[in-house]
Amino acid sequence: MVTSCVSLLLLLVSASCTLVRLDKATAYCKGIDLREITIQVLHDHYLTSRLTVQRVTECYLNRIHALNPTLNAVISTNPNAYADAIELDLKMKRCKWGSLYGIPVLVKDNIAVDGMQTTAGTLFLRDIFPKKEAIVVQRLRKHGAIILGKTNLSELSGLLVSDAEDGFSFAGGQTKNPYNLTSDIFGSSSGSAAAVAANLAMGALGTDTLGSTISPSSTTALYGFKPSYHPTLNQEVVPLAKPLDTVGVISRTATDTAILAQAITSKPNIGRQHINLKRIRIAVLEDHFMNPYVKSHLKLIKKSLIRMKRIGVKIVNSTSFYIQPTYMYSVLRAAICEFGPQIQKYLKTGTSRLSSANPKIKNLKSIIHWYKNHQGSKNYTLEFLNPAFNCSSSQTFSLLKLKQEMQHNLTEFFTRNRYDAILVPSHPRASAYVAANVAGYPIINLPIGFIKDGSAVGVALYGPAESDSLLLNLARAFDSRAHSRRRPKFMN
């Protein structure tokens, strides 16, 4: 037992040292350090011809090839990335470029990208290709982004429960948290967060049903943003629960997150409008900060509230917006029940298959059968998939009703108390922002610092319907004061 523990410790130390060495070795691109670089700074280098899109793309792919074997953040790289970069360099000469010109971005591997597999972390979807590219990816390309590849995730966006941590998939392995290699990164957009935190890309797309973009952003010191729900934000995405599924964005600064959000939502002005911060009232839901998972974060949270006050907003202590446990059970059950009919429709109408694809993968029943016959090296249960197969038709249609109920209650809470936003801990196990997930309202994670073991800590802001611009503006004002992020050291 002692020998095995020592061996594991030595392995972890070796992995940490290797990552630190490779991080430094691949940091520079024509003498410019790409780590923590912002969109504005990279654009300045393009304008002065110090860098080309082709060279930057090559440098980021080199970082992925060097660091990813340990981090397991990326499932596959885009075979067309170099060709796309060459085309963008030609556009630069013709002065045709958008807000994301030459910006390297990764996409969660449940979102369709032309010419690439969309596995959702599974092995059985490897040779099944989406027929169309996701609208959000098309919008990134329209604004000039370079799609570097696809990121790892909790398999089937967390529907497969295994003895591994969040961020495990059979297609990509166990995603590691760059700040603490032994700490849970949470999910399901684990690879997107790990990749951006480790500077394998400047931004990434995640997806969010009940916290899957905000959770891993909070553990990796990133600005993760889930926009207001809109049906276009989940098209050509492997479904979990369509009435809640939303593509979100993850980046290292609030400004870059806003630029990415503007692109995928086709709302060029969100996060740009001037707001009078002195008129903003933010409710701090005190009950959530008593959660035992948040206890070690309280000192950092208090400092973040002081910074909030310094940007001019009014902080109001409030009793929590209470959600009955039975209601949340109903939401989870209804969301699971959405999966069966939606995955069958996706497989039937939204995909094309290579000859090597498994012809038996057609519906939820065949997926469950596949898992029962491919246990592999990880022990897992079908805790969520089995109930999804046994749903009644009445349960399948109840999620929209539950969503409307939450929208009504939250809107009434905001209006009655004249709150513009709500601030809660973003620790994934605190489940403090799930009300906004269910309602389809926007949420953003604000990184606020680090605890002793090197793990990142965040708080989440959420607002009423269509308050995306307000939240992004608040995040930018907070970021200008806080400067709470630092590069990961790949600690154990």
| pLDDT digit string, tens, across residues 301-323 | 999 999 999 999 999 999 877 78
CA 197 – CA 221 distance, rounded (Å): 7
Q: What percent of the chain has pLDDT over 90?
A: 77
Grade residue 242 by pLDDT with cuts at 50, 70 and 90.
Answer: very high
Write the CB contacts of 417 (distance below 8 Å, at least 6 apart in sequence).
281, 283, 316, 318
Q: Which residue has the higher pLDDT, 195 or 9?
A: 195
Q: What is the mean pLDDT of residues 195-208?
A: 98
Active site includes 469? no
pLDDT the model gives residue 379: 65
Q: Write down the catalytic residue from 108, 150, 176, 226.
A: 108
Catalytic choice (16, 189, 212, 469): 212
CB 152 within 8 A of CB 75: yes
Q: What is the per-residue pLDDT for 354?
A: 80
The two most distant CA atoms of the chain are separated, in Å, by 65
Residue (of 245, 266, 228, 227) closest to 100 by Cα position: 266
Residue 91: predicted pLDDT: 86
pLDDT for the residue numbered 391: 85
Write the pLDDT tens digit of every residue in 135-162. 999 999 999 999 999 999 999 999 876 5
pLDDT tops 80 at residue 107: yes
Is 463's pLDDT higher than 70?
yes
**Separation of alpha carbons 73 and 190, rounded Å:** 7
Q: Which two tokens stand for residue 406?
A: 């939450």
pLDDT of residue 171: 94
Of the two residues 327 and 379, the one the predictor is more confident about is 327
For 8, 256, 368, the CA distances from 151, given in Å and listed in that order, are: 26, 19, 24
Average pLDDT along the chain: 92
More confident residue, 194 or 380: 194
Active site residue 212: yes
Q: Is the peptide bond before 467 cis (omega within 30 degrees of 0)?
A: no
Q: Which pair of structure tokens corresponds to residue 466?
A: 């269509």
Query: What is the spatial distance between Cα 429 and Cα 215, in angstroms, rounded to a whole number?
Result: 9
d(CA 143, CA 258): 14
Amino acid 419: pLDDT:
97
pLDDT at residue 378, rounded to an integer: 64
Each residue's pLDDT tens digit, 17-49: 999 999 999 999 999 999 999 999 999 999 999
pLDDT digits (tens, 9 = 90+) for 54-68: 999 999 999 999 999
What pLDDT shows up at residue 393?
A: 63
| Active site annotation includes 188 | yes
What's the CA gap between 185 and 206, in Å, rounded?
Answer: 14
pLDDT at position 33:
98
The pair of structure tokens assigned to 81 is 């990335």
Tell me what the mean pLDDT of segment 9-14 comes to: 64
Structure confidence by residue, pLDDT tens digits, 441-462: 999 999 999 999 899 999 999 9
pLDDT at 59: 98
State the pLDDT at residue 396. 55
pLDDT of residue 159: 86
* Annotated catalytic residue, options 16, 183, 188, 318: 188
381-427 pLDDT tens trace: 777 888 888 887 655 558 999 999 999 999 999 999 999 999 999 99
The pLDDT value recorded for residue 96 is 72
